[in-house]
Structure 1
Amino acid sequence: MRAMWRILLVAAAVGGLVCATIALQNPWVTFTVQSNIVLTLYYLWRLLGRETSATVKGAVTLYLVITGTVAFLALPLPDLGGGARHWGNLLLHCVTPVMAIVDWVAFDRSLRPGWSDPLKWLAFPLAYAVLVLVAAPALPRRMARRYLHDDVLVWTDYALAALAFVALFVAAGYALIGLHRLATRPLAN
């Protein structure tokens, strides 16, 4: 059951990545695509029978939770018209985040994430924030969003957004740990 679930998860991520590659110019700079690449590599590793830690699995899950949450809050619902963009958005923003959460709760129950893990999980998003900061002038408008005004970075907007995302990542990380602990708690008789 677990192997089949993970095969489907990898297939959804790869399908979404292929659609994003077809539909978008330079999709590789988006957090959505990067988080789904991380997910794909992680679950391929697991499908090869390799072990992991709660810290690594939690990080992968958190990145997908953030991808799905931001998409839900900031992006319009995918249209029903089909096409590569539609399927890429659906798979990468909806399907893989939900499947990653289910995997977090249902499998690897012996893994015990530590209470300091959400702070460790910030490493990749902070590196991504630096990438956006350094590459912002060359990124498409949809990527840099509102932090660029006439190709000039507004530092206060960027700093406030970065702080908000740090808070979101940490809060979501602790929520994931709480969810994992609830799912692994023995049932009372």
Structure 2
Amino acid sequence: MSKTQSYRLVAGLAGVIGVSMQIAKDGWGMLLYYTVLSNILVFGFMFYLVYAEFKDGSVNNHRTLLRIKGGVMMCITLTFLVYHFMLGPRVAPADFWNVRNFLVHYIAPLAMIVDTLMFDRRRSYDRLDPIKWMSVPIAYLIFAIINGQWLKLAIPGAVDSPYPYYFLNIDKYGVQPVVIYCVVIAIAYALLGYVLMGLKTYIGTKNN
């Protein structure tokens, strides 16, 4: 097993542990959080990369896979940034300073970011990839609004349940503030995607 595979295996296992701890504490309703879903996406992808390298050699030979991986990294980066700057400051110290919280909000995202920046081949993305990478967060946003307005599935531990996050609570804040939050996050997300594309021009494994 290569060093890269070992890194991805450990990162994936850390993600499994983090998600398992979240579900063990608060139940399967945790699957309604973007945080948990993005962590599942990441550890599933990490395990797939380990398998793909065993089967076909370096994943850097598969540009399409690297482009998809860029989108996966952006999904979990959103988890990290939104939590660190918008949600983390609002939670009680006991809910912040614990292993399960750090695993899903910090360790998994940072492990994926480091993996993508350092191990992936340079210049692997297409010009419109950062826009395409927005599809997963947008799909979750649509689901979250539908749940908050009509499905009413309870979100464990969420003060704004059936909305998972306060900035999506249309009933409490109204449509306009929610739209503004979402537009600002979407613009920042797209810009960050292009920052990643720029960084990957200079950082990572050199093209053959």
Q: Same fold (TM over 0.5)?
A: yes
Distance 1:76 1:110, change over 3 A: same
The share of aligned pairs that are identical, in percent, is: 21
Mean CA deviation greater in 19-28 or 88-97 = 19-28
Identify the residue that residue 95 of structure 1 maps to in structure 2. 107
Is 2:49 aligned against 1:49?
A: no
Distance 1:79 1:159, change over 3 A: closer
Counterpart amino acid of 1:118? P
Q: Which runs of 5+ in 2 are unaligned?
A: 54-58
Distance 1:120 1:147, change over 3 A: closer
Distance 1:65 1:82, change over 3 A: closer
Deviation at 1:175, TM superposition (A): 1.4
Counterpart amino acid of 2:180? L
Deviation at 1:108, TM superposition (A): 2.6
Deviation at 1:146, TM superposition (A): 4.4
RMSD over equivalenced CA pairs, Å: 2.7
Whether the 8 Å CA contact 1:54–1:111 is kept in 2: the answer is no
Q: Which runs of 5+ in 1 are unaligned?
A: none
User: How many pairs align?
Assistant: 184
Tell me the TM-score normalised to structure 2 length. Answer: 0.78
Identify the residue that residue 186 of structure 2 maps to in structure 1. 166
Is 2:43 aligned against 1:40?
A: yes
CA separation in 2, counterparts of 1:106 and 1:91? 21
Identify the residue that residue 11 of structure 2 maps to in structure 1. 9
Identify the residue that residue 76 of structure 1 maps to in structure 2. 89
Tell me the TM-score normalised to structure 1 length. Answer: 0.85
Identify the residue that residue 23 of structure 2 maps to in structure 1. 21
Counterpart amino acid of 1:109? R
CA separation in 1, counterparts of 2:194 and 2:166? 28
